[in-house]
Amino acid sequence: MASSSFLISFAIAACFVPSIFAIEHIVGDDKGWTTNFDYQTWAQGKEFSVGDKLVFNYPAGAHCVVRVSDAPSFQQCMKPDNVEALTSGSDVITLATPGKKWYICGVAEHCEAANQKLAITVLPQDGSDASSPSPNSPPLSAARASFASIYYGVMAFVIGFLGMPNLF
């Protein structure tokens, strides 16, 4: 009976493990979300996947974060009318879907004159680029790939074991 309770507890806890392994990207690292910083260089070599989080740190009131929906709006620093700016100074955005994502600062001329903007490509959780593979896209990290394989194997074993009649 105790072993059955342990396995059920283990199975429930294991269901929450994938969210623990989501990566929290501090935009700009120790510089944060600020003017006159090259966010495209910062993003190079980083892997952004569905479930990861972007954290924009800045002094509240000094900047804001606005998501734009397309590359032309991003390049021209055009704030969409129907999107509310994030202004807390510690804004967290969960990357929920794969594809290109664009973010700008909507304060004064911060985007246009001071290059305060970020463009990234978000990969699906399994690491494959569903839209089209790009030779410049970083491959899925070995750690994520290994973890996913082991995690799903263990989950299949535990669920199969729990589903077996009690033989002992």
Tokens linked to 76 = 């021209």
Q: What is the pLDDT of residue 151?
A: 66
- Please state, rounded to an integer, the average pLDDT across all residues of the chain: 81
pLDDT over threshold 70, residue 7? no
Q: How far is CA 74 from the centre of its chain?
A: 19
22 pLDDT band, cuts 50/70/90, is confident
d(CA 51, CA 67): 17
What's the burial of 153, exposed, middle or buried (CB within 10 Å: 0-12/13-18/19+)? exposed
pLDDT (tens digit per residue) in 110-132: 999 999 999 999 999 865 554 44
pLDDT over threshold 80, residue 159? no
Q: What is the pLDDT of residue 138?
A: 44
Q: What is the pLDDT of residue 132?
A: 45
Other CB atoms within 10 A of residue 68 CB: 23
Pick the residue with more confidence: 137 or 159?
159
Q: What is the pLDDT of residue 20?
A: 54
Q: What is the pLDDT of residue 130?
A: 47
* Continuous segment of H or E residues that includes residue 117: strand 117-123
pLDDT over threshold 60, residue 142? no
pLDDT over threshold 60, residue 75? yes
Alpha-carbon dihedral 25, 30, 33, 39, rounded to 10 degrees: -70
Fold (topology level) of 21-163: Immunoglobulin-like (2.60.40)
134 pLDDT band, cuts 50/70/90, is very low
Q: Average pLDDT, stretch 22-29?
A: 96
Cα Rg of the chain, angstroms: 21
